[in-house]
Amino acid sequence: MPGHSLFITGLGVGAIDFPDCGHRKVLPRRPDPTEPLSRGFSGPIPLSQEKSYEMRIYVGNLDYAVTSDELRTLFEPFGAVESAEVQVKTRTGQSRGFGLVDMPNDAEAEAAIAALNGREHRDRPLKINESRPRRTVRDLYAGGWYGSGGGR
């Protein structure tokens, strides 16, 4: 670049001179790969120290009057329930007809799924299974089927 000069020292610190306006910009020191990173990050967590996540259970075909507390009571006979939440519409607060239950013990969660799937609750057969990850708009486009002209 005409009119600019770059100085790099042996420490990895550099500066750019702008003689046109008399300014100098000091460049930050490049991180040393041997020293630990700042802000408490100490690298990847070993598998033995990772938090084991609970099983999230999808509960479908719920009556619209079912509350989160009632959903929790439905699952508690099978083991510990970390959270139970009936999903509601954001704008109206009306139930969406399904809920999510988190159980920390996989064996207890599997037992609850086996016992409650298809069981009648408030005159409706419940549909219960392990929850799948939530789909995003990006997922819809990833398959390549959406919006393709089909040879028109």
- The pLDDT tens digits of the residues spanning 68-118 come to 999 999 999 999 999 999 999 999 999 999 999 999 999 999 999 999 999
Q: Tell me if 65 is assigned to some domain.
A: yes
Q: Tell me if 116 is assigned to some domain.
A: yes
> What domain range is 84 assigned to?
55-131
Q: What CATH number is associated with residue 71?
A: 3.30.70.330
88 vs 152, residue with greater confidence: 88
Q: Tell me if 83 is assigned to some domain.
A: yes
Total domain count, the chain: 1
Q: Tell me if 125 is assigned to some domain.
A: yes
Rounded to two decimals, the pTM is: 0.57
* DSSP-derived secondary structure for the chain: -TT-EEEE-TTS-EEEEETTTTEEEEEPPPPPTTSPPSTT--SPPPGGGSPPPPEEEEEES--TT--HHHHHHHHGGGS--SEEEEEE-TTT--EEEEEEEEES-HHHHHHHHHHHTT-EETTEE-EEEEPPPPP-HHHHHHTS-TT-----
Q: Tell me if 77 is assigned to some domain.
A: yes
pLDDT-wise least confident of 32-41, 54-63, 83-92, 97-106: 32-41
Q: Tell me if 126 is assigned to some domain.
A: yes
Q: Tell me if 39 is assigned to some domain.
A: no
pLDDT of the residue at 115: 96
Q: Tell me if 22 is assigned to some domain.
A: no
